[in-house]
Structure 1
């Protein structure tokens, strides 16, 4: 075991036990510090994102800096309300009594960060952990080294260095961290690594939140208005290639459409791709690049299957030197090929045709539950069927990706796409223990709670459980006199 990691954990546990992270003043100070960090280091963050992933500043602000600013601002406004004990109704038969749910911090939490959104996926969950009053270890991804370095250099200067620490390193460091006992582990990444995280956490019975991925489908119904259709296809293109060039867990993985509508969809997508990104592989703009050679080869290999290559109807060119794969459209690739059984996490978009759009429900249900489903339709009956007959982490109608920035909606997966949720108050809850607190008076005592048992006490207990109000009324009408009579008998 690496002594550095143990020392870090020990210091954080000492800080937590001191109680200072529980105060509203400390929590607000850290949230304000995050906003200051973003303001004073925006250009450095933009440059790091450009070097690691080739992101344009607009994309960097939209998907990274802006997400964190919004989250921190919302938490600053709401944290006192979130911290306040929530009154809970108590059965009247227990009168006089009062109850509350008190949110308390879990302790020392470990956050594993994915490489595709290295700033927002570090600081956004950290905002929840801070708001809940925890101490934190942040483990950035080594696959985004410039962003990891920026976080390691700036966070100690702005946030409480005795309560929030950044630990850099590769797989060996992650494995060492997982051997330690944490009060919570939060992980964003692949299902494969998620299983390893959960297995390691089980040794210490550590609770986990796993934000994983999967193949997020899009259902495109027939839209009669040409304007509606153009908007829908533009949003599909944005949801596929816009977020980190397809390297996003909630990005569109494939599209389901009726057979007769596929040519129109492909034609519109081609036009939009050329408008958004250009059509020359060497001069493609506004596209993030594949993060590294390993992932470039993985995505490229999906295209090397001859049957898959034969289904390409647009794109397919690669620039290995610059690790760029152009936006690529495939029509009906084999359903048993890797491209349709594994999460693509890249700029390849399969289009699967169906005889009837309602068949999309069965198609989706025959596969693992996705992190998100997107459905473009104006048909209320189809909407209801999708809502009632499918299961996914989230469901968005007539747009893509936007659910991620809604602090009032929980973000998380189901089944293979993840476990747990965060964003807004849901982040606060994820990093809190909701403790039940009950205050009872010594004024009134119900003898029916205690032996010796008799039929009267059985009937009273039935009454108390089944008719709570009536039980209290009987109590107030002089139950003590009934007890005296019963005892004389």
Structure 2
């Protein structure tokens, strides 16, 4: 049976962000977040929020990002619901103590790992998927029994305001609170010294989050980004590869941290792939005609437009910019200079560079010469080639013969490596990331052998050396 909605209408609005932090900390200190019943109510509340308020969420995402209702459902609503439901069904099992074996020298005794909440955690959400990438981490936080302070992105003000209004209606309004504001507010929050911080966003801001957390030694999970490569071998199914790459690259105007950033394709199939991906983009967008894809703001638009202005590659399709409307038509750029901004910066927009390589080994060398990406995508029918790519390229995650689908699998940890992030969450991995794994060893009073205590005789030491 669904839990009743918690209404916060009678609660006084805190005067400032620090007051909201204090309320969340007091809620955790009261012990109310620890029982499984409270955790389940919060997970049910997240599910009901996205189900019952889908139309309002879609409207806010449209206002902020120009996102269609279908993409809002797929990318923010269905994904959030799936994460919350997966955790709700498995929470009791995750919370069970985990017995551990013991060495002979510790017997008689029992040992186990106890999962306990960290305390009050700070979730800093991004602007590109401001519902899923805010509520997804919240699933992990409340499943682990924490209180949470949520800081949505100010770049998506309609969605931020909506979350600030709806979250207190569906979740415990004291233990889960929303703080709106800009980067200065984020730094103000970080200075309070949370028990954990989970940030999703770009590498540049990620460094500032680490700096802000360092004085209080706050542990941080960073979900960043980078240039996620696609490798297409000569034996790949080019029709399917073109569809799957174009589908994810166009989603949210390419403003996705795990979108395919660039494609490395073997020379023998380069022209065929370019032709197919161009045709696929046109087919996917036939109802939009010549309209471009919406970019979130002028700063991001100008950055993307400058990449197109500076490229030495051949623009096979698209690339028409409209600054008044902040739109760009999806572009495919063939063989840009590897050292130009389009290939050195994370694109985060509807521009797809396609580079020619002579072999899979060349593709591996190209990727490994750059910072480790958040994701990598390999299209091949060869098990041997797949193994080589998996073994020789380091990335946060990998999908073989598809793009970005690993993000929707709660059984898999989601996270980066190196500059693409640190730590991981989703499913049980999120529960563990925001829990403390307390080691417990319980011993009886007897037996209590005297040879382990000083003064040590030669015989006692001989026995101890055998045992230890």
TM over 0.5: same fold? Answer: yes
Q: Distance in 2 between matches of 1:459 and 1:153?
A: 69
The residue that corresponds to 2:200 in the other structure is 188
Which of 264, 284, 295 is residue 256 of structure 1 equivalent to?
A: 264
The residue that corresponds to 2:209 in the other structure is 197
Which of 174, 182, 186 is residue 170 of structure 1 equivalent to?
A: 182
Question: Does 1:300 find its partner at 2:305?
Answer: yes
Secondary structure of the residue aligned to 1:460 is: helix
Q: Distance in 1 between matches of 2:243 and 2:368?
A: 26
Which of 256, 270, 277 is residue 269 of structure 1 equivalent to?
A: 277
The residue that corresponds to 1:16 in the other structure is 28
Q: Distance in 1 between matches of 2:287 and 2:234?
A: 28
Aligned-residue offset at 1:396: 1.2
CA distance 1:455–1:330, change in 2 (3 Å): farther
Q: Which runs of 5+ in 1 are unaligned?
A: 466-489
- 1:241-264 residue CA offsets vs partner (Å, 9 max, x unmatched): 23x121111110000111221110
CA distance 1:327–1:455, change in 2 (3 Å): farther
Secondary structure of the residue aligned to 2:128 is: coil
Q: Distance in 1 between matches of 2:465 and 2:385?
A: 47
Structure number, greater radius of gyration: 1
Q: Is the 8 A contact 1:273 1:279 kept in 2?
A: no
The residue that corresponds to 2:113 in the other structure is 101
- 1:425-455 residue CA offsets vs partner (Å, 9 max, x unmatched): 0111111100001110111123343333455
Aligned-residue offset at 1:175: 2.0
Secondary structure of the residue aligned to 2:16 is: helix
**Which structure shows the higher helix fraction?**
1
- 1:158-181 residue CA offsets vs partner (Å, 9 max, x unmatched): 111110111111122112112211
Secondary structure of the residue aligned to 2:133 is: helix
Q: Distance in 2 between matches of 1:185 and 1:421?
A: 12
Q: Distance in 2 between matches of 1:436 and 1:45?
A: 42
Q: Distance in 1 between matches of 2:343 and 2:451?
A: 64
Which of 72, 76, 89 is residue 77 of structure 1 equivalent to?
A: 89
Write out aligned runs for 1:25-36 (5 A). 25-36=37-48
CA distance 1:22–1:417, change in 2 (3 Å): same
The residue that corresponds to 1:247 in the other structure is 255
Q: Is the 8 A contact 2:125 2:152 kept in 1?
A: yes
CA distance 1:154–1:3, change in 2 (3 Å): closer
Q: Is the 8 A contact 1:281 1:318 kept in 2?
A: no
Q: Distance in 1 between matches of 2:334 and 2:163?
A: 42
Secondary structure of the residue aligned to 1:19 is: coil
Question: Does 1:372 find its partner at 2:384?
Answer: no
Q: Is the 8 A contact 1:103 1:435 kept in 2?
A: yes
Q: Distance in 2 between matches of 1:230 and 1:461?
A: 68
The residue that corresponds to 1:137 in the other structure is 149
Q: Distance in 1 between matches of 2:459 and 2:49?
A: 68
Q: Is the 8 A contact 1:211 1:412 kept in 2?
A: yes
Normalised TM-score (structure 2): 0.94
Q: Distance in 2 between matches of 1:448 and 1:250?
A: 60
Q: Distance in 2 between matches of 1:186 and 1:180?
A: 15
Q: Which runs of 5+ in 2 are unaligned?
A: 1-13
The residue that corresponds to 1:471 in the other structure is none
Question: Does 1:234 find its partner at 2:243?
Answer: yes
- 1:188-233 residue CA offsets vs partner (Å, 9 max, x unmatched): 0011111111111110111000000000000001126xxx321122
The residue that corresponds to 1:151 in the other structure is 163
The residue that corresponds to 1:125 in the other structure is 137
Secondary structure of the residue aligned to 1:198 is: helix
Q: Distance in 1 between matches of 2:394 and 2:430?
A: 22
What is the Cα-based RMSD across aligned positions, in Å?
1.6
Q: Distance in 2 between matches of 1:457 and 1:257?
A: 69
Q: Distance in 1 between matches of 2:446 and 2:52?
A: 60
Normalised TM-score (structure 1): 0.90
Q: Distance in 1 between matches of 2:287 and 2:317?
A: 10
Q: Distance in 1 between matches of 2:437 and 2:402?
A: 35
Q: Distance in 1 between matches of 2:318 and 2:335?
A: 15
The residue that corresponds to 1:326 in the other structure is 329
Secondary structure of the residue aligned to 2:377 is: strand
Q: Distance in 1 between matches of 2:151 and 2:289?
A: 35
